[in-house]
Structure 1
Amino acid sequence: MRIMLVTDAWEPQVNGVVRTMKRVIAECEAMGHDWDIVSPNDGFKTIPLPTYPEIKLAFGAKPQIEERLLEFEPDAVHIATEGPLGWAARSICLKHKMPFTSSYHTRFPEYLNARLPIPLWAGYKYVRQFHRYSGRVMVATVSMIEELQSRGFKNIAAWSRGVDTDLFHPSKRTEDRGPYKSMKGPIFLNVGRVAVEKNIESFLKLDLPGTKVVVGDGPAREELMQKYPDAIFPGSKFGDELGSYFANADVFCFPSLTDTFGLVILEAMAAGTPVAGYNVSGPKDLIPGTNAGAINDDLAQACLDCLELDRETTHKHAQAFSWTACAEQFLENLDPLPVPERKRFWQRFRRLRRKKPVE
């Protein structure tokens, strides 16, 4: 198939949306599928997201997206985010009766509420309207599916995630503890975007032995470094170096209350490092009954419980998740144009474009 992806989140951003879609695209291309990716990097007018200038919001994109839709003639359109590009693509698809799917990657209403004085009910009204006409809304976990259904969302489909079990592997754990060799153990690790919606401060406040390490960058990093001088903030890490940070930690702490899955949970487990989290979507879908981590409303207790878990058991649990399976599930969830109608659809689309210029 030819698949058009429209996303407000793309490189150089480092987050779950970008990492998931890049890996899914690579897997799908290996299967023979072609992609056209519409992102803020495509020359649109952008403005920085208030309170988070690293994220650029693209506006005035409808004419270019419509041109690219005509040029690429995709069999399926997937809209990954609820930002300006997502709304523009949604509008174009509805205008031309082009089927599309969407995905719910993060608790967007809670994200807005954490940064701006926007009540949760308003945030959920916004995202419910955005996904209203989607052929399928792809959601990562069972608990998140149930929650969204209770809030009036329709056409929800399961779409799990994968993990690179070569990059994140127990073999990267060394006797000298690698990046932590000069630090007092046990090592409690967090990896991700250092931003208020990730609730990292609740991890840094915990009364735990040893050392807390926060790998990543973001708008809250400088403030947290000043408030918690005993914690270590080595910045963003990638590739084998990141794998070493995961594997040589004793516990991975996932304090987020707004993620719908949490790729880093699987990455820590694949490296053999047990995961502690709150009893919320993501942790409660991946951890209970696995002996690969602990969930508790008392996050400090969950961290301490993880110190007693077997690392080999933790690693084996993560091996059940593959990116190939994730990509196959994504393809199954797409809502492509029916094969008999594709040629007629694009012929009609081109005739309309010749008769009337893009508004």
Structure 2
Amino acid sequence: MGRFLFATDAWEPQVNGVVRTLSNLMGALERRSHEIHVLSPHDFLTFPCPTYPDIRLSLATARLAGRRLDAVRPDHVHIATEGPIGSAMRKACLTRGIAFTTSFHTRFPEYLSARVPVPERWSYGWLRRFHAPSLACLVPTRTMHTELAARGFANLKTWTRGVDRSIFKPHPPLALDLPGPIFLTVSRLAPEKNIEAFLDLDLPGSKLVVGDGPSREALVARYPDVHFAGLQTGETLARYYASADVFVFPSRTDTFGIVLLEALACGTPFASYREPGPLDVLGSSAAGVISHDLREAALAALTLDRGDALRRSLDFSWEACADIFLEACDLNLAERPLSA
């Protein structure tokens, strides 16, 4: 079977959508007897990201990435992120004339502008050039595909996400002892996640936050009436989803939001802004409410049928994610000149 080399700046023990996507994709590929190799921050000296010290940036070079290429001799290279490791692998592949695919996981320009005053058009211009030589740039939703195409990105392929149904399924609720209804969000607690948009809402019952991150201490101090449960994983996380009446997704920078699928798989409808990820997750179903008014969406979602949420989750799987990935890899059989 195939031998795959993934280059990613985001990897365990980080907890985020990129890591979840890659780890689940690799699991699906390994179940099909493919051989997986990963070039990650574990392979380099690292230093803390200036605005987010929990994330380590790698001192990656094209020379070191090239050594891994020569050692693994992969049938296909996938560059998952646009950071130092992704950039090093991109240069090494271009130097050797090796074809590769890339993926667009995060609205990095919006993420960056939430922290430093960099015009989004500059960042999008850089990203467009980064992805230009790839045989396929995998994007998580049709809506994101359309948006990036309008920005001049080429070779785009829509690439869905999945959910682990052995963990995320209807569970008995936790004994939270909180006034209902319970509005839940699960997120990394960082500025780009727009958590305050949820916490500032005038809602009945209780607000519950699961997750950790650099903003947690400030948020706990600012919102004493909100219940912060910290980082949760596995079945405990699934039971938090199952204990909520509505899952609220306030992010405007996520391109998909795997947490949406996890909530739906636990039978919890969602409320969100009109953004690419939620729009495609909802589709034509009655699994959630999307609105420019997040409070309006959250209140309306209280009336939804939990069965509709669960049924919508069945339309997504990691096996389908792997199918699309392998289709993109087949493009590497086509002859196409590479350019920087």
TM-score tier by shorter-chain length is: over 0.9
| Corresponding residue SS for 1:5 | strand
3-state SS of paired residue (1:334): helix
* RMSD over aligned Cα atoms: 1.4
Amino acid at match of 1:98: I
Query: How far off is 1:337 after superposition?
Result: 4.9
1:221 aligns with 2:206: no
Kept in 2, the 8 Å contact 1:288–1:294? The answer is no
Corresponding position of 1:54: 54
Residue of structure 2 equivalent to 1:312: 307
Counterpart in the other structure of 2:38: 37
Corresponding position: 1:301 with 2:302: no
Structure 1 142/59 Cα, relative in aligned 2: closer, same or farther at 3 Å?
same
Distance 1:102 1:193 in 2: 24
| Contact preservation (8 Å) 1:100, 1:336 | no
Q: Distance in 2 between matches of 1:157 and 1:296?
A: 27
2:69 matches 1:69:
yes
Distance 2:283 2:224 in 1: 33
Could you tell me how far apart the structure 1 residues matched to 2:36 and 2:70 are?
Answer: 14
Candidates 188, 195, 198, aligned match of 2:193: 198
Give per-residue Cα distances to partners, 1:152-177, cap 9 Å, x unaligned: 0000001000111231111x1x3xx4
Between the aligned partners of 1:225 and 1:287, the Cα distance in structure 2 is 31
**Equivalent in 257, 264, 268 of residue 263 of structure 2:** 268
In structure 2, distance between residues paired with 1:121 and 1:339: 32
Q: CA shift at 1:62, angstroms?
A: 2.3
C-alpha separation between the residues in 2 aligned to 1:179 and 1:254?
A: 23
The separation in 1 between residues aligned to 2:208 and 2:61, in whole angstroms, is 40
- Cα displacement (A) at 1:313: 1.4
Write the letter of the residue equivalent to 1:19.
R
SS of aligned partner of 2:14: coil
Question: Relative to structure 1, is the Cα distance of residues 257 and 61 closer, same or farther in structure 2, using a 3 angstrom cutoff?
Answer: same
Residue pairs, 1:317-328, within 5 angstroms: 317-328=312-323
Identity %: 50
For 2:276 and 2:10, the matched residues in 1 are separated by: 22
- How many aligned residue pairs are there? 334
- TM-score using structure 1 length: 0.91
**Are the structure 2 counterparts of residues 73 and 288 from structure 1 closer, same or farther at C-alpha, using a change threshold of 3 Å?**
closer
- Distance change >3 Å, CA 201–CA 158, structure 1 → 2: same
Q: CA offsets, 1:129-158, max 9 Å, x none?
A: 110111100001011000000000000001
Query: Would you say the 8 A contact 1:99–1:336 is kept in 2?
Result: no
Deviation, 1:26, is 0.7
Residue 128 of structure 1 is matched in structure 2 by: 128
In structure 2, what is the Cα distance between the partners aligned to 1:32 and 1:205?
48
Stretches of structure 1 lacking an aligned partner (at least 5 in a row): 341-359
| Residues in 1 aligned to 2:319 and 2:283: alpha-carbon distance in whole angstroms | 24
**Structure 1 residues 179 and 17, CA, compared in 2 at 3 Å: closer, same or farther?**
farther
Please give the secondary structure, in 2, of the residue aligned with 1:223.
helix
Q: Provide the rounded CA distance (Å) in 2 between the counterparts of 1:285 and 1:337.
A: 28
Residue 354 of structure 1: aligned partner: none
Query: Would the aligned equivalents of 2:135 and 2:332 in 1 still touch at CA under 8 Å?
Result: no
Displaced runs of 4 or more, over 3 A: 335-340
The correspondence of residues 237-256 of structure 1 with structure 2, limited to 5 A, is 237-256=232-251
Partner in structure 2 of residue 18 of structure 1:
19
Larger radius of gyration: 1
Aligned equivalent of 1:8: 9
- 3-state SS of 1:194 partner: coil
Tell whether the 8 Å contact from 1:140 to 1:261 is kept in structure 2 after alignment.
yes
Partner residue in 2 for 1:211: 206
Unaligned runs of 5+ in 2: 336-340
Opposite residue 47 of structure 1, the aligned amino acid is F
In 2 relative to 1, CA 152–336 (structure 1 residues): closer, same or farther, beyond 3 Å?
closer
